[in-house]
Structure 1
């Protein structure tokens, strides 16, 4: 289980984030202040840190520095301030990414997954039913032969690979594709892209094993675990 260090002074936000992260299979340790964060760093190995920039007894920039000195892990800033100065300061302090509040839960989970993969703390290559996908290089192969996907087809595949144990509703998938496409995506568009993707990656698109339909709910990835 990947362990996330959450540094957030708003207890309601922290509670909701912990609920979300636990549902995604992460372990979470929460610190509400800079002082608490410093004490929890000692003897607690983490895989990634989510750090609010505004803290009651300091700021997230100082916490980021302390984390980076203690452990070589990715840091994602949570900030209500989207101004360029804060973003640049955070990145210059060694942060790996930032996300501005309010944010979509799925976007945060995707950012966490990307940061873990870049740091080598999560697999970048996946195998399932003869399908092989390397998210670091963007290469997808079926039975050893490269498969060429459009940007939206690849994004759709990534959503499933990043959520191997979840049933994804059509609305959730539409939200993800909307973010990636920057254009209008509706139910008909999703149906078309599911069909196209299955035609490219399934052995038998009429009897899909990789992207399975959960009748009345949505879709899920395969039948078992995705392996490295």
Structure 2
């Protein structure tokens, strides 16, 4: 898997295509979208290393999208905006963006900031929890040093559980974050089935799980 996947969410066609061409020329694998809804779908369905996010979108704001993304992911976000006010910058930083640039901006400076953020993230990209090692850049998982094969959905489920370790997640929360990004209906049994599959791959004994614990009548919890 390419570990330099970049998502550009920008409704200005010329700017979006210009950024896409320039970053692609530098070896990034770039996906472009023009709306908040498309951006959220991409972030939930695919694995990206960074998002370049416009502040003003046809169907909402970058602030709103950032707030939604931060509810389930620490994906690096650089906000690009024509609204050059101190209050906007403060709001963006408080919402958890990694950097903030006002238009017009220097492409060279943007690239340098993107590179810096990715380097910092690379240094903390590996999660080690018990016998498991997770590389967030390549989305690979090892158990006792041996790579285990997880589907994209299983990987997202594992990450979501670990990111919320020691906190109970209801089946409804898991459905919303992992399956409901397209508004498709899936029943609660979907969660149980996929939790069971994940347990067989990561637990020492899936019949006596020590990591993904069931909280009867509520949901599941990742025990650190």
After TM superposition, the score normalised by the length of structure 1 is 0.51
Q: Distance in 2 between the 1:121 and 1:99 partners?
A: 24
Aligned residues, how many? 123
> 1:112 aligned to 2:109?
no
Q: Distance in 2 between the 1:17 and 1:93 partners?
A: 24
* Helix, strand or coil at the partner of 2:122: coil
Q: Which residue of 1 aligns with 2:52?
A: 50
Q: Which residue of 1 aligns with 2:76?
A: 74
Spell out the pairing of 1:17-166 with structure 2 (5 A cutoff).
17-120=19-122
Q: Deviations over 1:21-70 (max 9, x none)?
A: 10111111112011111222222000011100011110001111222334
User: Structure 2 unaligned runs (5+)?
Assistant: 126-224
CA shift in 2, pair 1:45/1:88, >3 Å: same
Q: Deviations over 1:122-178 (max 9, x none)?
A: 99xxxxxxxxxxxxxxxxxxxxxxxxxxxxxxxxxxxxxxxxxxxxxxxxxxxxxxx
Q: CA RMSD in A?
A: 1.8
- Is contact 1:41-1:70 (8 Å) kept? no
Deviation at 1:121? 6.3
Q: Which residue of 2 aligns with 1:6?
A: 8
List structure 1 runs of 4+ shifted beyond 4 angstroms.
Answer: none
* Helix, strand or coil at the partner of 1:92: helix
* Helix, strand or coil at the partner of 1:65: helix
Q: Deviations over 1:172-196 (max 9, x none)?
A: xxxxxxxxxxxxxxxxxxxxxxxxx
User: Structure 1 unaligned runs (5+)?
Assistant: 124-228
* Helix, strand or coil at the partner of 2:45: coil
After TM superposition, the score normalised by the length of structure 2 is 0.52
- Is contact 1:7-1:50 (8 Å) kept? yes
